[in-house]
Amino acid sequence: MGRQTYRNLRMVVALVAIALLTSTVVQANDLERHIWDQYRGKILVLRGFYSGEKLRYDASGALSGEGSVGDWTTDGFVQLDEIYSSGQNLKIKAKRLMVISAGQTGFRFSEEKALLKHKKLKKAALVDIYAPLGTESVTEAMVNAILSRIFISSEEQLVDFVPKFWEPCVEEGISGRNEACRFSSEMIAVPGVSAPVHATTSSEEQQTSVSPPTSSNTPETNIAGLFKVGNGVKPPKVIFQPEPSFSESARKAKYQGMTTMGLIVDKDGLPKNIHIVRPLGAGLDARAVQAVETWKFQPAQKDGQPVAVAIAVEVEFHLY
C-alpha cells in the first residue's frame, strides 16, 4: 500500500469517526431537548410522598438515599423546573407545591407569591432528584421508564396512595361528590389525579348529590350497634385531649385554620375509623389525626349503658 493511499485511508477512517461522533452528539442533544420540552414545567406526584431536599433512586426506582415518607399535601406534588441526563444519570430539579384547603374551598396549590416571602420555605420547597439510567445509550424509553417508577402515572389513582384516613375525602373530592374536598382544575390536570370515567357525574347530578360532609357519609357508620347522638343517646365527652403539633411547612408559611374529622367513639371511649371530612391541607390534617388517635372519651350512653357512636370533631391550629 502506497503512502498516499495509507494517508487517504486514515483520513476516511477519521471522517467516519467524526461523523459517528457528531451523529451521537446530535442525537443526544435532540433527546435532551425532547425531554426538556416534554417535562419542563410539568406537575407530577411523587410516589411515597418523600420529603427531603435530595432524593436519590436506584435503577429499580426505589429510594436509596435520604428521604422519608411525608404527607401528600406537602410532599406529594412537585413542578419540574429542570430535567436532563448527565452521563448515565437522570437529574431533576423540582419545586414542591403545597396543597391547602383554606376557607372550605377545596384543594388547591398555595399561592406561590405568599410562600416566596419566606426565604426558608423557598429553600425547603426545592428538591433535587437523581436516578441512574443504566450503562447503555440513553433513550426516551429509558427516561420514561424511570420517571414512571418515581412518579404516579396517568393510569393510576392518587386515592390508592394516600393513607386510609384520607381515602373518603380524596375519592369523593375527585369525583365531585364532596365540595369541601374537591380538587382545583389545575390539580385535576396532574397525572393520576383526574377522576376515573365511571366516577364522573354531570354538573346537574353533582349539584343534587353534593351535601355537607358529615361522619355519616362513610360506610363504617352503618355497622351494627352504632348509634347517633340524640333520641336518648348522650354524647361522649373528651377526658384526654393532647394538642396536635404544627407541620413545618404550615409553620413557615404561617398557615393556620381548622380541620374537621369524622370518627367512631367505641364503647370503651376509644376513637376508631378516623377520616377527614373538611380538610385544611399543608400537612395539618395528618397532625390532627395523629393527635385524635390518642384522645380518650367518656363513652356515649343509651339507657345508662355505654354505646358506640359516630361523631365529628374539629381541630384548630393557631400560631398565636
Q: For position 295, which CATH number holds? A: 3.30.2420.10
Higher pLDDT, 96 or 59: 96
Grid cell for residue 292? 385524635
Residue of 137 and 275 predicted with greater confidence: 275
Are residues 52 and 143 part of one domain? yes
Q: Which residues lie closer than 8 Å to 147 by C-beta, 6 or more apart?
A: 39, 44, 90
Give this prediction's pTM.
0.80
Instruction: Work out the percent of the chain whose per-residue pLDDT is above 90.
Output: 57
Confidence grade of residue 246 (pLDDT, cut at 50, 70, 90) = very high
pLDDT of the residue at 220: 45
Is the confidence at residue 175, as pLDDT, over 50? yes
Of the segments 30-39, 132-141, 261-270, which one has the largest average pLDDT value? 261-270
Residue 150 belongs to some domain of the structure: yes
List, for residues 183-226, the tens digit of each pLDDT value.
999 999 999 998 655 444 443 343 333 333 343 444 344 455 79
| pLDDT value of position 223 | 53
Q: Residue 303 pLDDT > 60, yes or no?
A: yes
Model confidence band, residue 26 (pLDDT cutoffs 50, 70, 90):
very low
Please indicate, yes or no, if residue 260 is contained in any of the structural domains: yes
Specify the pLDDT at position 194.
82
| pLDDT at residue 67, rounded to an integer | 74
pLDDT exceeds 60 at position 9: no
Q: What is the pLDDT at residue 3? A: 59
Q: For residues 104 and 189, state if they share a domain.
A: no
- Range 228-251 average pLDDT: 94
Q: Stretch 118-137: mean pLDDT, rounded?
A: 69
The per-residue pLDDT for 209 is 32
Domain presence at residue 272: yes
Query: Is 289 found in the same domain as 183?
Result: no
- Residue 85: per-residue pLDDT: 80
The verdict on residue 104 lying in a domain is yes
Q: Which residue has the higher pLDDT, 139 or 204?
A: 139
pLDDT at 234 over 80: yes
Statement: residue 164 has pLDDT above 90: yes
Please check whether residue 101 lies inside any domain of the structure.
yes
Q: Which residue has the higher pLDDT, 268 or 7?
A: 268
Identify whether residues 259 and 309 lie together within a single domain. Answer: yes
| 235 in the same domain as 187 | no
Specify if 8 maps to a domain: no
Indicate whether 112 belongs to any domain: yes
Domain count, the chain: 3
Range of the domain at 198: 160-209
The pLDDT of residue 25 is above 60? no
Query: Do 172 and 142 reside in the same domain of the chain?
Result: no
Let me know if residue 28 belongs to a domain: no
